[in-house]
Amino acid sequence: MSVTDEAQRPEARTSDGDAAIVVRGVVKTFGEVQALGGVDLEVRKGTVLGLLGPNGAGKTTLVRVLTTLLLPDAGTATVDGLDVVRDAGALRHRIGLAGQYAAVDENLTGLENLTMVGRLYGASRADAKRRGAELLESFDLTDAGDRVTSTYSGGMRRRLDLAAALVAKPPVVFLDEPTTGLDPRSRITLWETIEALVSGGTTVLLTTQYLDEADRLADSITVIDHGRVIASGTSDELKDRVGGERVEVVLENPADCERAVAALEPMAAEAPTAHDSLVSVPVRTRRGVIAEAVRLLTDEGIGVEDINLRRPTLDDVFLTLTGHAAEEAAEAGEGDHAS
Amino acid sequence: MRRLVTDTLIIAERNLIRLPRRPELLLAFTVQPIMFVLLFRYVFGGAIYTGGVPYVEYLIPGIIVQNVAFGGFVTALGLNDDMHKGLIDRFRSLPMARAAVLAGRTSADVVTNFLGICILVITGLIIGFVFHAPLLHVVAGFALLLLIGYAFSWVFALVGLVASTPESANSVGFIVIFPLTFISSAFVPVATMPEPLKTFAQVNPFTIFVDAMRALWIGTPAGNYVWGAVVWAVVILVVFAPLAVARYRRTAGS
């Protein structure tokens, strides 16, 4: 499933003109801590890659390597065809970065912030100002454009930060946890903004801890933990990996658990599992399974409090792949590399 | 090179725009130094014997040197703040001249230092300071002060980049550099100090800076102080500017 598995050797650079980001065997160590332990990934032009992982997984380190802020210890990476080490200077013209913090100057107005960034990209003051006003307009910040950004809400700052990353219309944009710490409404607004951006053909690498965010925005997802890629594929592929559809039954009486498992056995694709009063039954099809489960249980006189048909969420994927403990995650990582 | 100049000016502009919007910064540049001048002149001044020179004339060059040396302090705090807020990451991801973020900051300090010097000179003139020197020397004194301030801005730029928090940048300023300015001829004649402070004060560059300013502004014997001061300032600049830029290039941010 993983698109990167066969390319373990760093020199195995694809000549695929379709890839906007190619990462091969990138290693980065800070003192004793290995932040990136040989990461491989690829992002096709005009798509969104969701880089998913818990805190400290190495997401930000990878973004910093790809945006020329950190030198990798080993491996190679190209963005828009330019090497992140050798062509760093040229590459900086072709990328935009919105970091984990809303990196805007609080003492400047929204327009002044965007104008400054535009001029630092090399535009004239007038051009930078025009582009700034245009971005404020499309980010719904025009009214606040002349206000000092210390008066902005968290969501407005993030939008301004994102706008600053787009000043030079870069073909590749890196968004490092763009919605962390935002209220739900601001998140949705920002998601819509990012969707509009992608529909314009920009390639986006997005890091996030939020599975719903990756599910909604990303064309493909790479899960990393402890600096290693432990899975990659589309959202559906990852979910299939954890298992197909399940009927979940909440029993009125937890004591009925064993009887319920036995009763549901005939309709299950694999052995049902039980946890407290929740019985989970893997099934092959969606059709009629709820009615059948209810009939089987009613025949046995087992009371049902709640029943539903459930697909695995990315949360399930994440838990399955990374496990709860560090050791489990490390094992999962090795298993995946072999697959 | 043109890129460096343009980008430096853009960053300097950014740092100057915010001044009028941050009243507390403006107070640090104006009210606080004036308060110190008044305290020294009227509280301690009567008890300090300076060998015939009125204390107000002795004090003003000394306290202005101290003030410009600390002018770069906002650079340390500002850079540290920029690092923690991710602005340095943004700048480093832009195709701008690498040294411009620091050069812009320190250039902005020259402007604020000039304002600070003017405010202190005016305060001094009001409370009895008199220039005893030709105009050319007075102007040279302004230039020397700006050079000293610029050199120390680079020291503080390095402090701001190395310090983990604004608080620790603050400590470096007040535990290391503040006492240095006092163990000098800035406020009292060095001869009144006990050994080994006296020996230290005699070779302290602050003593040389202050004595150079007195030579230029109130006509005390110049000796080699003026050239000595220029050499010291240039040495500090030549050592600390490359160190700060190197640190900026490889800084990991927060």
Instruction: Write the pLDDT tens digit of every residue in B6-37.
Output: 999 999 999 888 888 888 777 777 788 899 88
| A interface test, pick of B3, B93, B254 with most A CB neighbours within 10 Å | B93
- Taking an 8 Å cut-off on Cβ atoms, the answer to whether A119 and B252 are in contact is no
For residue A129, give both structure tokens.
């100002």
Assess if residue A315 is contained within a domain: no
Cβ count within 10 A of residue A287: 9
Q: Are residues A235 and A254 in the same domain?
A: no
pLDDT exceeds cutoff 90 at A133: yes
Whether A183 and A281 map to the same domain: the answer is no
Q: Is residue A78 part of a domain?
A: yes
Question: What's the confidence (pLDDT) of residue A225?
Answer: 87
Of the three residues A186, A210, A240, the one that is the final residue of a domain is A240
Closest CA to A319 of A329, A309, A334: A329
Q: How many CB atoms lie within 10 A of CB B131?
A: 18
| Domain match, A306 and A194 both | no
> Where along chain B do its domains lie?
2-250
Mean pLDDT of B170-190: 84
Looking at residue A16, its pLDDT comes to 55
Distance CA A129, CA A111 (A): 7
State how many domains chain A has. 2
Name the residue facing A107 among B7, B22, B254 (closest C-beta). Answer: B22
Q: Is B109 on the interface with A (CB under 8 A)?
A: no
- Tell whether A219 and A286 lie within a shared domain: no
Q: What is the CATH number of the domain that holds A60?
A: 3.40.50.300
Residues of A in contact with B85 (CB under 8 A): 101-103, 106
List residues of A whose CB lies inside 8 A of any B CB.
Answer: 64, 67-70, 89, 92-93, 95, 97, 99-108, 112, 116-117, 119-122, 148, 164
pLDDT of residue B251: 64
Helix (H) or strand (E) holding B232: helix B225-250
Cβ pair B89:A117 closer than 8 A: no
Nearest chain B alpha carbon to A167: B94
Percent with pLDDT over 90 in chain A: 33
Which position has the token pair 């990461």?
A39
Asked if A296 and A202 sit in the same domain, the reply is no
Does A37 map to a domain? yes
Q: Across the interface, do A103 and B85 touch by the CB < 8 Å criterion?
A: yes
> Of the residues A203, A224, A240, which one is the last residue of a structural domain?
A240
Give the separation between CA A55 and CA A99, rounded to whole angstroms: 15
CB-based burial of residue B2 (10 Å sphere; 0-12 exposed, 13-18 middle, 19+ buried)?
exposed
∠ CA A26-A72-A24, rounded to 5°: 25
Mapped to the 3 state alphabet, what secondary structure does B90-143 carry?
Answer: HHHHCCCCCCHHHHHHHHHHHHHHHHHHHHHHHHHHHCCCCCCCCHHHHHHHHH
Residues A259 and A297 in one domain: yes
How close does chain B come to A149, measured CA to CA in Å?
12
pLDDT over threshold 60, residue B61: yes
Residue A278's pLDDT is 87
In a domain, A90, yes or no: yes
- Domain presence at residue A256: yes
Asked whether residue A91 carries a pLDDT value surpassing 90, the answer given is yes
Is residue A25 included in any domain, yes or no? yes
Look up residue A266 and give its two tokens: 């005939």
Q: Sheet harboring A228-233: ordered strands across?
A: A95-98, A172-176, A203-208, A48-52, A220-225, A228-233
Could you list the residue range(s) of the whole structural domain that residue A299 is in?
Answer: 245-310
Q: For residue range A103-123, what is the model confidence (pLDDT) as tens digits?
A: 889 889 999 999 999 999 999
A84 and A182 housed in the same domain: yes
pLDDT of A339 above 50: no
Looking at the fold, whether A174 and A302 belong to one and the same domain comes out as no
pLDDT greater at residue A244 or residue B139: B139
Contact call for residues A8 and A198 (beta carbons, < 8 A):
no
Nearest CA in chain B to A125: B10
Residues in chain B within 8 Å Cβ distance of A122: 3, 95
Decide if B243 touches A, using CB distance below 8 A.
no
Residue A152 lies in a domain: no
> Is the Cβ–Cβ distance between B206 and B213 less than 8 Å?
no
Residue pairs between chains A and B whose CB atoms are closer than 8 Å? 66
Please report the ipTM that was assigned to this predicted complex. 0.84
pLDDT for res A171: 93
* CATH assignment of the domain containing A284: 3.30.70.2470
Q: What is the pLDDT of residues A230-245, one digit of tens each?
A: 888 888 888 777 777 8
Is A147 among the domain residues? no
A3-21 pLDDT, tens digit per residue, is: 444 344 343 344 456 889 9
Question: A180 vs chain B: nearest CA distance in angstroms?
Answer: 15
CB contact under 8 A, B90 and A105: no
Closest residue to A108, CB basis, from B18, B89, B253: B18
In A172-227, where do the E strands start and end?
172-176, 203-208, 220-225
CB contact under 8 A, A102 and B86: yes
Query: pLDDT exceeding 90 applies to what percent of chain B?
Result: 37
pLDDT at A234: 87
* Confidence at residue A189, expressed as pLDDT on a 0 to 100 scale: 84
Which whole number is the average pLDDT over B107-127? 91
Q: In chain B, which residues have their Cβ closer than 8 Å to the Cβ of A123? A: none
Please determine, for residue B154, whether its predicted confidence score (pLDDT) is greater than 80: yes
Q: With pLDDT > 70 as the criterion, what percentage of chain B qualifies?
A: 98
The pLDDT of residue A331: 38
Taking alpha carbons only, the member of A90, A118, A91 closest to residue B6 is: A118
